[in-house]
């Protein structure tokens, strides 16, 4: 088994449970089943470990978002496939969802890391929205406004369902939540 992977996984587990600020390297080592020194064979510093974890999480999420994604389908289909994948990923992996939120909000993750982590996603989203606007299917807002709108709504809904499902009433299908977003941005 891959030690580096183990260490990343252990870090994820601990941060999710106790927060970024209470995640000592000694605990990471224990959780990963290795000595403290070993971590430093794979990561220069704790900070690097954390940045790498963020990149790893984003990579995993990006892959899921592109499952069965057909770039040549119509705008509406692409929209529902992509964001449906996104939402389901967030709902199926509550730990990663919480982790991503926590890390995105934290100044310790540098802007460079964030940008590097998100470019792949950006391109796909940009493609969908551009096409939608060209075909006048979508509102003529700046593309970033639309993408931020959808991302914000869906990620917050997923988080809420993950953390406090009892408050949310009977659970809706991803389709119905996507419909809210679609109605918001359609022309």
Q: Between helices 46-65 and 3-18, what is the axis angle to 10°?
A: 90
Are 106 and 20 in contact by the 8 Å Cβ rule? The answer is yes
- Given the complex with DNA, which of 25 and 172 has the nearer CB atom? 25
171 DSSP 8-state letter = P
Binding track, positions 29-58, relative to DNA; x by CB under 7 A = ----xxxxxx-xx---xxx-----------
Residue 124: closest CA among 166, 165, 81: 81
Three-state secondary structure call for residue 73: coil
* Candidate list 5, 19, 26, 156; residue touching DNA; CB under 7 A: 26
**Cβ–Cβ under 8 Å, residues 139 and 75:** no
Q: Which two tokens stand for residue 153?
A: 């709504």
Residue closer to DNA (CB basis): 3 or 139 = 3
How many other CB atoms are there within 10 angstroms of residue 121's CB atom? Answer: 18
What is the rounded end-to-end Cα distance, in angstroms, of the chain?
51
The smaller minimum CB distance to a copy of itself, of residues 40 and 149, is found at: 149
| Closer residue to a copy of itself, CB minimum distance, 34 or 131 | 131
Task: Give the shortest CB-15-to-DNA separation in angstroms.
Answer: 11
Which of 5, 148, 173, 175 lies at the binding interface for a copy of itself (CB under 8 A)? 148
Residues that bind DNA (CB under 7 A): 3, 22-26, 33-38, 40-41, 45-47
Residues that bind a copy of itself (CB under 8 A): 17-21, 101-102, 104-108, 139, 141-146, 148-157, 160, 167-170, 172, 176-177, 180-181, 183-186
């Amino acid at each position: 088994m891959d030690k580096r992977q183990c260490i990343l996984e252990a870090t994820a587990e601990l941060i999710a449970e106790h927060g970024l600020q209470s995640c000592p390297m000694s605990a990471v080592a224990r959780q990963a089943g290795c000595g403290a020194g070993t971590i430093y064979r794979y990561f220069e510093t704790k900070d690097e470990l954390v940045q790498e974890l963020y990149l790893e999480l984003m990579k995993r999420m990006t892959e899921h978002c592109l499952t069965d994604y057909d770039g040549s389908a119509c705008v509406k289909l692409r929209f529902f496939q992509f964001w449906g994948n996104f939402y389901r990923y967030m709902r199926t992996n509550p730990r990663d969802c919480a982790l991503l939120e926590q890390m995105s909000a934290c100044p310790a993750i540098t802007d460079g890391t964030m940008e590097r982590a998100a470019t792949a996603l950006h391109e796909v989203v940009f493609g969908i929205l551009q096409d939608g606007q060209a075909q006048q299917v979508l509102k003529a807002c700046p593309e970033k406004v639309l993408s931020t709108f959808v991302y914000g709504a869906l990620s917050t809904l997923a988080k809420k369902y993950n953390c406090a499902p009892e408050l949310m009433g009977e659970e809706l299908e991803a389709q119905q939540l996507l419909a809210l977003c679609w109605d918001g941005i359609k022309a």
